[in-house]
Structure 1
Amino acid sequence: MKELLTGRRALRIDSAIAFAAMVSLQSRPHWQAGDWLWLRVILILFPLLIAIRRIEPALALPGLVVGAYLAVALGQAPWLLYVGIVLALWSLAGRCRQRTVIAVTAGSVLIPIVLDVARVAVAEILRPYDSFGGNLSQLFENIVAAGAPAVVPWPRVALIAVVAMAFLLVRRDRAHVVPARQRWADLRAYLVDPVDSWVRYALLAGALAGMTLVEVRTDLLYGGWWSAPSWMPWGVAAAALVLVFRRRPVVPVVVLTAASLIANWQSYTHYVPLYAALGVALYWLVVTPKKSRSLRWTLPVAIGVLILLPLITRVMRVRYLQLIFPEIKRRGWDYTWNTVLHNSTYDGIAQNIWPVTLSLILLLPVLAAIAVRQLRRNREAARREAELERAAEELEAEQVVLTERAIIARDLHDVVAHAVNLMVIQAETGPDLVRRGEADVLAGFQRIGDAGRRALSELDRLLSTLRDEDGIADPQLAPQPGISDLSQLVADVSDDHLPIELDLQGDLETPPEGQQVTAYRLVQEALTNVVKHARATGVRVAVRSEETGVRVEVTDDGVGFDVAAARRGNRHGLAGMRERVRIEGGTLDIRSTPGAGTTVDAWMPVGGRR
């Protein structure tokens, strides 16, 4: 599509040629066989293929050849269609593969030849269906009577093949081959592209106005518009041009409703293109997704128009009708044989009542607009829901990151605080160790070094998890101590001044990893608090692994503390203990009284992780 976007000026030129070709097909108002109105109306659509010949020439070329054939058969001037054929051949040679060019050109050349050769057989095949569309078989017989060379000019057919081969040779090295699937995708993109949409609206309006003009001319030929001002039929024919006001659909609805009503009063035929234009305007009125044009008023307006059309033709009074058609007033009123006041012009107009079935048919575009609008709304809702889901996932990912950061922060606190407290305590006991002797001093320094090395090791592993490129902790690097590591922890903390009793019961490997880590961190934080604050002479650590969960209990005989005051003081160690237990779906009970020691009791049930 990028190549097409850079050639918008060329697309506009093609659209101008297409519009001119539609005008040129109006050069001869009628053909000697006037029954072929529907063919002359359809013929107006073929020049539209010129507008897409750069995008999909394989579709435009055969269509333009068929259009030129019908134009000659119906006595119209096809010269601009031939210009479109040449342009389509040029695009075909530069946009499609050589075999596609040859196949499409051969098929396009064979179309008029086959129709010309088989015209008699086709006429016989169509003869049983003469009651539909006005003697189809007679059409081909009239073509024969007009002379086959006039319908299929063999030099022009040969010229198409020669021009195609010449263009293929000229553009052989500069061709930009586009696959058929991509060409169809480009065509769909062009039809919905908001840029230069006014060009497409102008072509649509011109095509519908041109088809309406064909019907108006035919209607005038057969005596229609007998009581209308001379300008009125041409105004009705041009009414479809208001479709260029796509952004203001109210204007086309009003103008086309009035034109359709007038055409129904004055014509002998059904103006299908005009009614189609009204259907397009009603569709645009309802489908346009703007706040100022909600369904609350556009739908009642559209339905109201369809209800008013048959109603007006039934209740319109003569004093108002003669304002539209002055011929009623000029003709005057006469008495009939039974002394009833009579106006022949008014009677001819009044009997043309708008069919209710036509309003029902025009209701279909309105229903289609509602369906399309609902489909767009569902797509928009789905898009917003997808955006909300992505936002929720991103928020959840951010929350996970924050949670992991909090966990890592707690781990850092546990590791650093515990190790530093041990080193501080060992350093404070230095004077006593000096008095005891050199051996005790060396053992104290050894414990300080061991605590420092363990702290550095765990810090290094924690920082390694933060440096992980995928944001996932490496089990080999992340610190994951468990219940079985409590023996080493107790051994590191206990000494002659603070004996620690460790009681481990049950299968220590059964609890899940999260509970293992939590149990270790609870004991570690509790022992840190004992060493730092309790001034205890003994500690008991009990861990029981049961089928229903894990219980951790740390009891000391220290000085104790005020639990409520500590909670108000926002002590990080106690808050971290509660948070760890809460994550595992457990409960934490801290019992302490000043002067009576402290008990930390935690219970973590199986499957309780949140």
Structure 2
Amino acid sequence: MTADAVPAPPRRRTVRRLVVDAVVAALFTVVVDGYYLWISPPWNSFYPSSSTVAQLVMLSPLSLVLLRRRPEVPAVVLTGASILATPVGEPLPVLACAALAMFFLGLGRPRRQAALSALVVLAIPIVRHLVSFGPFDYLNAELPPAWSSTLLVCAGLAVSAAAGGFVRSRGWTSAALGNQLLRLLDDPVFRTWLDGVVAAGLVVLVVRELQNDPVGGDWTDAQQWVLLVAAAAPASLAVRRKIPEIPLLALAATCLLVYPLAQTQWVLITAFALALYSIGVHRTWWKSALYAGTTLIALRVISWLLHDGAAARLVVDGLYSVSDRRMAELLHRIWPVWLSASLALAWATGLLTRLALQNRRAAQREAALVQKTQEQEQLQVLLEGRSQIARDLHDVVAHAVNLMVIQAETGPDLIARGDQDVLAGFQRIGDAGRRALGELDRMLSALRDADGVPDPELTPQPGLSDLRRLVEDVAHDGLTVELDVHGDTELAPTGHQLAAYRLVQEALTNVVRHAEATKVVVMLEVLADELRVEVSDNGHGFDPEVARTGGRHGLAGMRERVRIHHGTLTIDAAPGRGTTIAARIPLAAEASR
């Protein structure tokens, strides 16, 4: 894949977004159709094409399935549907959907493309007054005030598009506001108060609905206890998060009780939809599907079983005080299948919300895991750096202090020889101390520097070219040190040179401290693909296994330095004979990395 290629979104995420858009479009369609069928039924036989107009207008909200991907399509479709509905009935529901599409048009499209699409949409209401529509003659009728209504429609749609563009320009579509809202909704105290407020508000709305006469019935025909149950049922939503089964059963039973008397029980239906939504959010998908499906099917089955017969008459007579003619009418009112199907959308929305919340929690856990992993990696790097500094400090301090101790112990012998030897001994002590202090300053400067950059004025790290001075510092009258170098030392990388220098330094320090040797041979060979280091002495030797378990940090530091560069370290020693330390550090691996 080239640098300019954009990977396709995961198929599962694309399908999920499509399902969400389809559910939203279906919900808007149900709301608009419910408004036109029950609240403001406009379609009649006065217009010859009323059935065609009804189908076009009532199916137009389905175009909202393209709201996020192609908002210009639902904007054109819904604006045209509002023009078809204006002479027949109230176009506000369809115009509201068109305004939503215009908002997303300004929100999701570049400024120039959104402006051109908005001009096309705004031209639709004006074209209606300029072109004669043969199939829809009623559109040509003069409807005062036609031009003022057209201007209001265009202004509303233009404002919606401009509002979407303004929100986009301000960057308010970022996830910051959404994350704050989600954190607020995660607060258990806030959710408890919110559920209580919603439940109390629905109770008030139900009481307000009971004060008005429903379409097709009269609340005075119901028993008082039925009205009390209907008014108190939404209060069960206060426990919709903890025990969502309670509001589901309570509201389902209440809707079934009052449906024969009042088919337009919109507040109770809304509360029932919220209960179905809650069961989808707060229960596993198979449990919620079982509970919601069983409840919605049971409403239809129970209503059908009680729609006629002696048992049904006894039930209706216990619920309502109506005449025989009125009772016969109520007995034939069966819970409709379309209402159960519409309420099933609320459960589907809850299920999608649950999936979204699970994805959000998984993303949060993944982000926390990534952050923890990064912190652990940083800590590991810090520990490795501290271990490296500890090894360098050990090498520097041990080597320098041992040299100073040896020179100080030879002081009496030097005094007997003369002033010049005494001065030379003190000079060697001073040189060793100054070099030790210089290397300590260089290593500790990384700790003092906030950026981790060493002070360029300090002495650079020692390399293979400094071995000769190291050998000269260690050598004295009782110890002869020979240095044998083969190859170009500059070919070795800086890290390899430092490792070899520290290895020789530690080996010589051990010879001075423990071996009691009289001769040491240091051999260095730089090949094209390998760096070889060997330090041999004629001291009394030691047992490597005992040294490994006896806390010999110098030997452990040697092994670690060589291991870092993927090399091998061999220690050949035994009590009573000399010691040979050999290291082989590959150079090709470092160059290839």
User: Equivalent residue for 2:255?
Assistant: 260
Q: What aligned pairs does 1:356-371 form with structure 2 within 5 A after superposition?
A: 356-371=337-352
Contact 2:484-2:523 at 8 Å conserved across structures: yes
**Count of residue pairs brought into register by the alignment:** 446
1:490 positional shift: 1.2
Contact 2:226-2:319 at 8 Å conserved across structures: no
Instruction: Give the Cα–Cα distance (whole angstroms) in 1 for the partners of residues 277 and 212 of structure 2.
Output: 23
User: Equivalent residue for 2:401?
Assistant: 420
User: Equivalent residue for 1:306?
Assistant: 296
User: Equivalent residue for 2:275?
Assistant: 281
Q: Which amino acid letter does the alignment assign opposite residue 326 of structure 1?
A: D
1:597 positional shift: 0.8
Is 1:197 paired with 2:165? no
CA shift in 2, pair 1:593/1:245, >3 Å? closer
Q: What aligned pairs does 1:470-485 form with structure 2 within 5 A after superposition?
A: 470-474=451-455, 476-477=457-458, 480-485=461-466
1:573 positional shift: 1.0
Instruction: Give the Cα–Cα distance (whole angstroms) in 2 for the partners of residues 232 and 534 of structure 1.
Output: 104
Q: Which amino acid letter does the alignment assign opposite residue 251 of structure 2?
A: L
Q: Which amino acid letter does the alignment assign opposite residue 283 of structure 1?
A: Y
Instruction: Give CA deviations for 1:462-502 in whole Å, capped at 9, x if unaligned.
Output: 23222222345446547621112112111211234322221
CA shift in 2, pair 1:218/1:409, >3 Å? same
Give the root-mean-square deviation of aligned CA atoms: 4.8
User: Equivalent residue for 2:115?
Assistant: none
Q: Which amino acid letter does the alignment assign opposite residue 252 of structure 1?
A: P
Contact 2:215-2:264 at 8 Å conserved across structures: no
Aligned equivalent of 1:218, options 215, 218, 227: 215
**SS state of the match for residue 215, structure 2?**
helix
TM-score after normalising by structure 2? 0.63
**SS state of the match for residue 478, structure 2?**
coil
1:228 positional shift: 5.1
**SS state of the match for residue 576, structure 2?**
coil
1:215 positional shift: 7.9
**SS state of the match for residue 458, structure 1?**
helix
User: Equivalent residue for 1:579?
Assistant: 560
TM-score after normalising by structure 1? 0.61
Is 1:447 paired with 2:448? no
Deviates more, 1:209-218 or 1:503-512: 209-218
Instruction: Give the Cα–Cα distance (whole angstroms) in 1 for the partners of residues 580 and 137 of structure 2.
Output: 104
Is 1:545 paired with 2:542? no
Contact 2:221-2:321 at 8 Å conserved across structures: no
Instruction: Give the Cα–Cα distance (whole angstroms) in 1 for the partners of residues 524 and 398 of structure 2.
Output: 22
1:461 positional shift: 2.2
Contact 2:216-2:261 at 8 Å conserved across structures: no
User: Equivalent residue for 2:316?
Assistant: 325
Contact 1:228-1:327 at 8 Å conserved across structures: no
Deviates more, 1:429-438 or 1:300-309: 429-438
CA shift in 2, pair 1:584/1:183, >3 Å? closer
Q: Which amino acid letter does the alignment assign opposite residue 565 of structure 1?
A: V
Contact 2:462-2:501 at 8 Å conserved across structures: yes
1:503 positional shift: 2.0
Instruction: Give the Cα–Cα distance (whole angstroms) in 2 for the partners of residues 353 and 372 of structure 1.
Output: 32
Contact 2:195-2:237 at 8 Å conserved across structures: no
User: Equivalent residue for 1:399?
Assistant: 380
Instruction: Give CA deviations for 1:76-131 in whole Å, capped at 9, x if unaligned.
Output: xxxxxxxxxxxxxxxxxxxxxxxxxxxxxxxxxxxxxxxxxxxxx9xx99x9799x
**SS state of the match for residue 489, structure 2?**
coil
User: Equivalent residue for 1:488?
Assistant: 469
1:423 positional shift: 1.4
Contact 1:286-1:366 at 8 Å conserved across structures: yes
**SS state of the match for residue 522, structure 2?**
strand
Aligned equivalent of 2:418, options 417, 424, 437: 437
1:395 positional shift: 2.3
Q: Which amino acid letter does the alignment assign opposite residue 250 of structure 1?
A: E
User: Equivalent residue for 2:164?
Assistant: none
CA shift in 2, pair 1:502/1:294, >3 Å? same
1:295 positional shift: 4.8
Q: Which has the larger radius of gyration?
A: 1
Contact 2:442-2:455 at 8 Å conserved across structures: no
1:381 positional shift: 1.7
